[in-house]
Structure 1
Amino acid sequence: MIRKTVVLNPAQYFASQSTQKRKFLELGRGTGKTTYLGYHDVQLVKQMPKASFAMVGSTYSQILSRLLPSVKEGLEMFGVYEGVDYVVGSMAGKKMGFELPFQSPDVFNNVIHFSNGSIFQLVSLDHKDSGRGLNSYAIVGDEAALLDEERLNINVRNTNRSQKAIFKKSPLLNSELFLSSTPLTKKGKWFIDAEEKSLRRPDEFYYLKATAKCNLSNLRPDYFEYMKESYTSDTIYNAEMLNIRPKEITDGYYAQLNPDIHYYTDHDNSYLESLDLSQVDAKSFNWRQDRDVNPNIPLIISVDWGANINSMVVSQMQGDTYKVLKSFYVKSPKILDHLFTEEFMPYYQGFPANLVKFYFDRTGNSRTANSKLTFAQQAEQLLRSGGWKVHMMTVGANPDYMMKFRLINSMLKDDGRRRLPKIRINQSNCADLIVSLEHAEIKDSSRGLEKDKSSERRKGVEQQHATHLSDAFDYPIYALFNEIFVNQHRTSEDIPLSSF
């Protein structure tokens, strides 16, 4: 390890001085989460040589794509370097003369191994057995708002029990650290609930809220003004930058949406665990990591076109379930072409069925500038040139928002009394879509009740949290199931729509 001087900002300093075993840090963007994560991890390694720690993520995909790069960056800030002070995902450390932990795992493919024998085992909550059998001395979790609390308790917290006499004076023995920005969706409520626990049990829980205002010496002078221009809505800006928690929209456009019912994770961890952790890059994350996709049936794709953003939702009809598998978007200055050539086609390259059913709204029939092709024809041409077979499934005139509202909420009702399929959404692959759905409000206009689209009117780069993706979600559902819904409602004894 190389000696480096790092000055902690006030939030980082107060967190470092807290003595509680369970720390929850709600930190806005720019506050210095990566720096504190690096500091904390270094302290664990120094205080408890040869100990085993659990580093937890919502999915193994999230660990590899976001958590692990943050950990490496944070460690480097404190003079701890990969390939010198630690290795990732291999037994190379043993060959380099590293100490081994007290309880050495049989394989090191999901382990960060430090030269003094300390290890972090990467634990993903989407793997039911991940973490089981582990005896850990501490827990670390970044992006904690994405974690499922029940799985966290069963798979990880139960392992945080190891004791050694030589560590009895270590302040971090059996500690927990969870960091996150303010949750944007209902799934993260467990994290902010810890604030109340810190008030009732201050000796056990430490809860800190901070924004980048405590870190201005490391940021551009106009950071907040600059970032405000980048957000499409005050709700998202207030949450991610100012730690102002979004109100729960109980009467939103997707009123029946329930995270406990409609969201799921289903990654093929055997594929992800086969990756060389030192060689993981963006190309490593593709449809092969998705266990919920059926490679033998067509993909349903739907696109919402726009000047500032082009959005796509990918789904499949599987038995009695309509599965929403993945969402994509590209923002200006990128154009429609990039949505297909840089997002959809690379992700689904080599997909065996090689067929898409393509849904879009009426604006898809508008011609692009300086082209004889419509938006839809241009997209079709891109797909075919990429080797895909395409069935164009135009929806004609855009349906009334209230008609879509009734249909979709009827399907989300999910009480087993209708012939309509269930809707299930892959939460790790559709994070931006979920924000779009949960924050889509309903308004009363001269035309009746409709989706509030005001979030789309502000120019900026965060349009993925406006209603664009939710519109792409709507198009195929309405086209596929509205006729069934209307006919069924006329003839059945279903629950009246007034109950929504």
Structure 2
Amino acid sequence: MTRRNDYESAREESLRRAQRHASALSGVQEAEEQETAANYIYMNPAQRAVYNYRCRNTTVEAGRGTGKTDGLITPEMAGCIQSMPRGTGLFLGNSIKQLFTKTVPKTLYSLERMTGLKEGVHFFRGHAPAKCNFKEPIVKPKVWENCIHFWNGFVYYMISTGVKAAANGMDSCSIIGDECRFMPEGLIKAEILPTLRGINTNHPGFDESLNPYYKSIFFVSDAPLTKRQAWLRKRREEQTPEINRKIAEMIREAQICPEIVQSPKYQRELNKLRCQASIYFSFSSIENIDILGEQFIRTMQKELTPTMFDISIRNVEKEEINDGYYANFDPDVHCYLSNDEEQLEAAQKYKKRTITQIYNGGRTLRVESESIDLNELSKAQDCCLDTDIKPGEPLRIAFDYNAHINCLVIGQTDSRSNTSVLRILNSMTNVKNTRIEGLCKMFCKYYEPHRLTCRDVIFYYDDTAKQGAAYASERHEETRFYNIVKKVLRSHGWNVTEISMGRPMSHNKKYEFLNGCFAGTQRPFLRINKENNEYLIASMENARVKEGRNGFEKDKSQEKNRVSKEVDDIEAELSTRTDLSDAFDTLVIGVRYYGSGRMIGVGMPMSA
């Protein structure tokens, strides 16, 4: 039989075979009229635009709530799976923790909802049991632990960009990346993109001139909050405007005359254009107004700061900050990610055995499989995957107190006496409705596993913590901030060592000291967990400097703005404020000059 050159026909035939196989597995015998019935799925204008173009190289920058997982990533995944049986794809994340607790569970749920495919029936995390008779990929993984295996042999590798050489030696047919603004540009270009070599096979789905999903790149992200995160915008220069214009004309032609879509010639010409095309989309949250509602947009405009509304909702490019307060801070030098292998080992305690029944050839098969329960792992919300924590060593904490928002930064040194290196493990925030008590309870819940190895907490505070306000607590008569922190932590079984630092360090001395730490001329050396401190890092990169009466000062004008309680991911608003970075300052100064409770070294005066 001669090879068919019509990719769309081959894809439709592959999809029909997949549907027949799925029906046999699930024991569903549908009537003829049900087989021909259409399953309509709503897409907003942004999602429809991306799906209609289907360019080989697609980059999407979209505001919050646009529907990136449901309407952008899931259709792309489904297209790759159905059109390239026995192929391989890369699904990128910033770390194993992010993939297992955030990205993958939501994506698989969306895939099940949109396509009808079911985990344990049509795909497995890890290698499918032999009883299922799943096809094997052409290029088999050496280790199946971080793979998703589909019924037709397609495999997605879950790749962490936080590990160098994680994709070395792989041959991929497609690459999908979510939240790409956090990924290092150098690693993507040097290690991930070179894997897009494809597979040598005669199947039409692996024809580079016919299938736009073959050797495709699909990057999706929120609007960048810092200059460093804006590397995706360079891909605008790689667009193919003339080819994109031709695709748009063919799409409009199909909208005017829908019957033309059934023409093999039309599909062949459209797909040839898609295979040569590269496009960059930029959407605001307003594109999804049918789902979000007009009231949501109005509320965001009222509650958010103008800068945050422009970035998160309108997706407007923010101005670059050249005069930053933390001038010597370099995320490439001072930030790190926890070891992925250690995180994967820590996640093994959430493994569960699953038993499913599938129907094949008139027989009922009982299939057992074992994999990490991602739903339980994401619900845990504790430090079990934070492998940078040293068991048996105390945690060091500092707060920033505000009428609208309270912030907490958590760090740890190698030992009580050795404070030359300070690792910033995590940062937490809450809004006024839960007060400081709520923030302290968040800390206690998250670090309960560590409390079993060490109950000690070293709490640094200056004279600002000795103030009091009605918003500090609902139940305690004593509303001084530092007393509330001590009471809540001790009630949850922590031994609190309180260290009063007196008057805050003057602005000009603080500026010199902190930049000295980042430059390596002052102690402690600073290392920041990139994954757990996303908004602390953004807050530091966006912090402006101004010249005050006694020298350089941090510009805190944004702290006067209200903080919205309506936003699902309220921490994003902190990227334009200095609250988190103020708590960071207190912790670093406390560790340097007060250590574990006494003045150390040659002390720089804390006040002017």
TM-score normalised by the chain length of structure 1: 0.88
2:488 match: secondary structure = helix
Aligned with residue 584 of structure 2, among 448, 470, 473: 473
Distance in 2, Cα, partners of 1:132 & 1:201: 35
Q: Which residue in the other structure is 1:9 paired with? A: 44
Aligned counterparts, 1:160-309, within 5 A: 160-163=196-199, 164-166=201-203, 167-168=206-207, 169-198=210-239, 203=276, 205-231=278-304, 233-267=305-339, 268-272=342-346, 274=348, 275-276=350-351, 277-279=372-374, 280-282=376-378, 284=380, 286-309=382-405
Deviations, residues 421-480 of structure 1 (Å, cap 9, x unaligned): 322211111001111111122234556542222222222234533211111000022234
Aligned counterparts, 1:89-104, within 5 A: 89-92=125-128, 94-104=130-140
Contact 2:149–2:155, Cα closer than 8 Å, also in 1: yes
Aligned with residue 530 of structure 2, among 427, 432, 448: 427
Amino acid at match of 1:290: D
Contact 2:56–2:216, Cα closer than 8 Å, also in 1: yes
Q: Which residue in the other structure is 2:540 paired with? A: 437
Q: Which residue in the other structure is 1:455 paired with? A: 558
1:39 match: secondary structure = helix
Q: Which residue in the other structure is 1:29 paired with? A: 64
2:239 match: secondary structure = helix
Change (3 A) 1:155 1:343: farther
Contact 1:93–1:113, Cα closer than 8 Å, also in 2: no
Deviations, residues 349-407 of structure 1 (Å, cap 9, x unaligned): 23423211101232322345551363212211222222222110122122222221111
Contact 2:546–2:553, Cα closer than 8 Å, also in 1: yes
Distance in 2, Cα, partners of 1:104 & 1:285: 34
Deviations, residues 184-206 of structure 1 (Å, cap 9, x unaligned): 12432321211123379975532
Deviation, structure 1 residue 47: 0.7
Contact 2:383–2:446, Cα closer than 8 Å, also in 1: no
Q: Does the alignment pair 1:324 with 2:424?
A: yes
Distance in 1, Cα, partners of 2:124 & 2:447: 25
Q: Which residue in the other structure is 2:467 paired with? A: 366
Deviation, structure 1 residue 312: 0.7
Moved more, 38-47 or 363-372: 363-372
Q: Which residue in the other structure is 1:493 paired with? A: none
1:156 match: secondary structure = helix
Distance in 1, Cα, partners of 2:238 & 2:90: 23
Q: Which residue in the other structure is 1:387 paired with? A: 493
Distance in 2, Cα, partners of 1:384 & 1:63: 34
Contact 2:335–2:527, Cα closer than 8 Å, also in 1: yes
1:253 match: secondary structure = coil
Distance in 2, Cα, partners of 1:442 & 1:128: 35
Distance in 1, Cα, partners of 2:554 & 2:141: 53
Q: Which residue in the other structure is 2:264 paired with? A: none
Contact 1:133–1:159, Cα closer than 8 Å, also in 2: yes
Q: Which runs of 5+ in 2 are unaligned?
A: 1-18, 23-37, 244-275, 352-371, 565-569
Deviation, structure 1 residue 43: 0.7
Contact 1:138–1:172, Cα closer than 8 Å, also in 2: yes
Aligned counterparts, 1:6-85, within 5 A: 6-18=41-53, 20-34=55-69, 35-83=71-119
Q: Does the alignment pair 1:398 with 2:504?
A: yes
Distance in 1, Cα, partners of 2:211 & 2:589: 59
Change (3 A) 1:361 1:82: farther
Distance in 2, Cα, partners of 1:120 & 1:196: 29
Contact 1:304–1:311, Cα closer than 8 Å, also in 2: yes
How many residues align structurally? 486
Q: Which residue in the other structure is 2:458 paired with? A: 357
Contact 1:328–1:344, Cα closer than 8 Å, also in 2: no
Contact 1:24–1:179, Cα closer than 8 Å, also in 2: yes
Contact 1:285–1:347, Cα closer than 8 Å, also in 2: no
Deviation, structure 1 residue 77: 4.2
2:450 match: secondary structure = coil
Distance in 1, Cα, partners of 2:73 & 2:346: 24
Change (3 A) 1:363 1:419: closer
Amino acid at match of 2:574: Q
Change (3 A) 1:8 1:283: closer
1:356 match: secondary structure = strand
Change (3 A) 1:448 1:151: closer
1:349 match: secondary structure = helix
1:222 match: secondary structure = helix
Contact 1:359–1:395, Cα closer than 8 Å, also in 2: yes
Contact 1:37–1:74, Cα closer than 8 Å, also in 2: no
Q: Which runs of 5+ in 1 are unaligned?
A: 491-500
Aligned counterparts, 1:89-168, within 5 A: 89-92=125-128, 94-163=130-199, 164-166=201-203, 167-168=206-207
1:324 match: secondary structure = strand
Contact 1:453–1:467, Cα closer than 8 Å, also in 2: yes
Distance in 1, Cα, partners of 2:278 & 2:317: 20
Contact 1:211–1:241, Cα closer than 8 Å, also in 2: yes
Q: Which residue in the other structure is 1:334 paired with? A: 434
Distance in 2, Cα, partners of 1:109 & 1:298: 34
Change (3 A) 1:74 1:282: closer
Moved more, 343-352 or 429-438: 343-352
Deviation, structure 1 residue 208: 1.0
Change (3 A) 1:246 1:153: same
Deviation, structure 1 residue 173: 0.4
Deviation, structure 1 residue 144: 0.5
Moved more, 268-277 or 25-34: 268-277
Deviations, residues 283-340 of structure 1 (Å, cap 9, x unaligned): 5454342333222322111111223222111112346422211111122311222212
Moved more, 445-454 or 434-443: 445-454
Contact 2:89–2:173, Cα closer than 8 Å, also in 1: yes
